[in-house]
Amino acid sequence: MHSDPIADMLNRIRTAVAVGHGSVDIPSSKFKKALSDILVREGYLKSSEVVEVDGHPVLRIGLKYGPKRKPIINDLHRVSKPGRRAYAKSKDVPVVRGGLGVAVISTSAGLLADREARQKGVGGEVICEVW
């Protein structure tokens, strides 16, 4: 078990994309489900659903590929870590790769993509960046 379940989730997705899997199973939580829903909405993942495997809830994430099985996700990494939290004010929400990527922000209004956080004028903890 990892001490950082979000980093574990991102690493499982990164590894599954690198080897060309169609989907990946991750132990489920509300936070992970909300994070994967944002990535589905932003177009980086195909699907995200909670299924039950051996009596335990599991988050099954469908991975998305382009033509010739080229992965949609080029890279994703954790920004705020347990040892060093990273926060951004509403006016300092990061722009990832000049707007080509997305940063996921944990705000008082819930998990939001960077564009939504800027639109609502809220800041918070920068969870991860995806491009």
Question: Distance between CA 77 and CA 91 in Å, rounded?
Answer: 22
Q: Give the burial class of 49: count Cβ atoms within 10 A of its Cβ; 0-12 exposed, 13-18 middle, 19 or more buried.
A: middle
What CATH number is attached to the domain comprising 58?
3.30.1490.10
| Residues forming a β-bridge with 51 | 58
Domain hosting residue 94, numbered range? 5-130
pLDDT at position 30, please? 97
Residue 80: the pLDDT is 97
- What is the model's pLDDT at position 2? 62
Domain count within the chain = 1
Query: How much is the pTM?
Result: 0.93
Residue 6 has pLDDT above 60, yes or no: yes
Burial code (b: 16+ CB inside 10 Å, e: under 16) for 93-103 equals bbebeeeebbb
What would the mean pLDDT of 108-131 be, rounded to a whole number? Answer: 97
First to last CA, the chain: 27
Query: In this model, does residue 35 exceed pLDDT 60?
Result: yes
Predicted confidence band of residue 98 (pLDDT cuts 50, 70, 90) = very high
